[in-house]
């Protein structure tokens, strides 16, 4: 485990302290979880952009051409 020193504006520190107390977790746990959530969101964007770059319109059209042309079930409309 690593340790970092983090300077926060007093107003942000007050808010994170209040949120941590309301969630019944430590400030450290709240910040760690928030950081992990943010990293996950950013990494998901990168992953989706990489997947989109590998997309092939011709393969997509070929796959869509195999879908039957029927009306959806009433529950799916």
The pLDDT tens digits along the chain (77 residues) read 899 999 999 999 999 999 999 999 999 999 999 999 999 999 999 999 999 999 999 999 999 999 998 988 999 87
N residues, the chain = 77
For the stretch 25-45, pLDDT in tens is: 999 999 999 999 999 999 999
Cα first-last separation, the chain? 52
CA distance 17 to 30: 9
Cα→Cα distances 47→17, 25, 39, 56, Å: 33, 31, 12, 16
Helical segments of 1-77, H only: 10-23, 27-53, 57-64
């Amino acid at each position: 485990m690593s340790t970092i020193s983090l300077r926060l504006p007093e107003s942000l520190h007050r808010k994170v302290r209040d949120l941590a107390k309301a969630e019944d977790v430590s400030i450290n746990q709240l910040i760690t979880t928030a950081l992990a959530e943010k990293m996950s969101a950013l990494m998901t964007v990168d992953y989706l952009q990489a997947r989109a770059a590998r997309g092939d319109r011709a393969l997509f059209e070929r796959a869509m051409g195999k879908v039957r042309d029927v009306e959806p079930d009433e529950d799916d409309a």
